[in-house]
Structure 1
Amino acid sequence: MIGAIRSEIRKVFTTRLWWGMGLGMAALAALISMGFAALLGNADMDAGEGQGNPFAQMSIGTAQLIYNAGLVQTMTTLFPLALGVLLITSEYRHKTISATFLSTPNRWVVLISKVVAVVVTGALYAVLHAAASIAGGASIVKFVKNQPTLLGEPEIWKSLGIGILAFAIWMLLGFGIGMLIRNQIAAVLIAVGVTFVVQIALNIIFQVKEWYSAMKWIPGNLTGQMVITSNPLEGQAIDPKIQAQYWDHWWQAGLVLVVYAAVLSVLGAWLTTRRDVT
């Protein structure tokens, strides 16, 4: 098992794909955090009916929102999702999966080793994402807005630590989709399309229909609720209907997201152990 895990990790980090996507993700994370930080102190901005203005002043919740802006907007999650898809579908595309299964005949050992490699890569992406977000967001908060960065607060680092879990889960979501849909192009398009288009459409539909409780089951919303552990609107009146779209605790949102990833990964692994390879 150790040898198989080492082999799968080496497959990831001996290619240019992981660091190429990582640099793109880091640049996007920094830009989004800078954009959120630029809203700080804007008294005229309102986040929406019944939600007040989370950027009226710097608080722990607002800092978490700024430093995790890419995750909250479900933009940077596209990178671990796509990489998770590519890590498994590239083996089918280039026919290397046959050699992999021949060298390690027990397919479950191979798949578990790949899951470990995916989790390790997701954790690395989370650290890179956090570093870029802090660099971008904190620079605007401190030097442009003249506000405290609050980087000394434990809750901020707790939020960033939860981001490691979020990234690992999103990579597992992509990995599960890749095992279910072995065609690389189709898998990437479906994964990104569902995340970027379908989630936006569902949020709009649920908002219009006032099905607020249904919104908390959408993967992108779950991710935002995981990393924002402190309420940025603390002390402000919030419409109970709006509050219905949030879980009471971050770990509840995380558990639902884990179930999504587990279902896709287990189902994909089960099918993989029974499919023929060439």
Structure 2
Amino acid sequence: MIGAIRSELRKVFSTRLWWGMGLGMALVAALIAMGFAALLGNANMDNGDNGGQGNPFAKLTVGTAQLIYNAGIVQQMSLLFPLALGVMLITGEYRHKTISATFLSTPNRWVVMISKMIAVAITGALYAVVHAAASIAGAVPIIKFVKHQPTLLGEPKVWESLGIGILVFAIWMLIGFGVGMLIRNQIAAVLIAVGFAFIIQTALSIIFTVKHWYSAMKWIPGQLTSNMLITSDPTAGQSVDPAAQAQYFDHWWQAGLVLVLYAAVLAISGAFLTTRRDVT
């Protein structure tokens, strides 16, 4: 098993795909974090409340810091990178016909599948570290030198949120990997995965908000991700619609378990079909 995992990691890191997408993700993360940091102290973002009482960016709280440093993930733009890479890591094997050699070198297909999942999760964790570093690098100069507010990087809750991001990236990359195993055509798999993450989730969020189906919103993968990362309420002490709280689980790990379940269903289903399919 160790040799199989090492082999799968070598497949990932011996190509330019992983660091090319990683650089793109880092740039996106830094820009989005800079944009969110620039909102600090903006009195015009008061959601219609007098004095900016509904504005979580009025000053930097722990919850707002978590939101800024994880802005790319909360906005789901950064998640497209591990999702797409997870898809391409398995569909690329079918596209380039290397899956046959993989199964010949390791005849037990379940060993291959488990090794690939572990390698994918490790790659996702690495992406999370890069994302956190890029977000901090983009946001801190604006927070400290432009907005003249404390960065709150000494707060344990902020680092807890960044640590949870490692789990988030690993899960989303496994979700992409599961989609890639179910849909072996690379272009179709990428379009479907990204289309769901970027378009369908947004559409569902809008529909559920308009219909006030807040309890249904918390089951959307993107909402679950935000629920995991924002471990402190960025609107603490402000007026918040109690009904809107139904879109969140009480604890981040509860949202994490649901997201893990989504990834497990996709990955295990895809692995099961892969062990039964013929390859050429």
TM class, shorter-length? over 0.9
- Say yes or no: does 1:192 pair with 2:194: yes
- Tell me the number of residue pairs that the alignment of Structure 1 and Structure 2 aligns: 277
- Of residues 180-189 and 232-241 in structure 1, the stretch that sits farther from structure 2 once superposed is 232-241
Aligned to 1:72: 74
The residue type paired with residue 28 of structure 1 is V
Q: Secondary structure at the match of 1:273?
A: helix
Aligned to 1:138: 140
In the TM superposition, what is the alpha-carbon distance from 1:237 to its structure 2 partner? 2.0
Q: Secondary structure at the match of 1:244?
A: helix
* Matching residue within 60, 85, 88 for 2:87: 85
List aligned pairs for 1:251-270, cutoff 5 A. 251-270=253-272
* Matching residue within 51, 54, 58 for 1:52: 54
Q: Note the alpha carbon deviations across 1:139-163, whole angstroms, 9 max, x for none.
A: 1100110000000111111000000
* Matching residue within 105, 117, 124 for 1:122: 124
The residue type paired with residue 209 of structure 2 is Q
Question: After TM superposition, what 4+ stretches of structure 1 lie above 6 angstroms from structure 2?
Answer: none
Which consecutive unaligned segments of at least 5 residues does structure 2 have?
A: none
Q: Note the alpha carbon deviations across 1:138-196, whole angstroms, 9 max, x for none.
A: 11100110000000111111000000000000000000000000000000000000000
* Matching residue within 144, 151, 155 for 2:157: 155
- Say yes or no: does 1:17 pair with 2:17: yes
Q: How far apart in 1 are the matches of 2:92 and 2:105?
A: 18
Q: Note the alpha carbon deviations across 1:195-243, whole angstroms, 9 max, x for none.
A: 0000010011111111111111111111111111011111112111111
Q: How far apart in 1 are the matches of 2:244 and 2:138?
A: 30
CA contact (8 A) 1:47 1:54 kept: no
Q: TM-score, normalised by structure 1?
A: 0.98
Give the percent of matched residue pairs that are identical in Structure 1 and Structure 2: 78
Q: How far apart in 2 are the matches of 1:213 and 1:138?
A: 35
Aligned to 1:202: 204
Q: TM-score, normalised by structure 2?
A: 0.97
Q: Secondary structure at the match of 2:12?
A: helix
The residue type paired with residue 148 of structure 1 is P
Which consecutive unaligned segments of at least 5 residues does structure 1 have?
A: none
In the TM superposition, what is the alpha-carbon distance from 1:43 to its structure 2 partner? 1.7
Q: CA, structure 1 residues 70+239, in 2 after alignment: closer, same or farther (shift >3 Å)?
A: same
In the TM superposition, what is the alpha-carbon distance from 1:119 to its structure 2 partner? 0.7
Q: CA, structure 1 residues 47+4, in 2 after alignment: closer, same or farther (shift >3 Å)?
A: farther
In the TM superposition, what is the alpha-carbon distance from 1:52 to its structure 2 partner? 1.5
Q: How far apart in 1 are the matches of 2:264 and 2:55?
A: 36
In the TM superposition, what is the alpha-carbon distance from 1:33 to its structure 2 partner? 0.3
Q: How far apart in 1 are the matches of 2:112 and 2:88?
A: 16
The residue type paired with residue 85 of structure 1 is V
Q: CA, structure 1 residues 47+266, in 2 after alignment: closer, same or farther (shift >3 Å)?
A: farther
In the TM superposition, what is the alpha-carbon distance from 1:48 to its structure 2 partner? 7.7
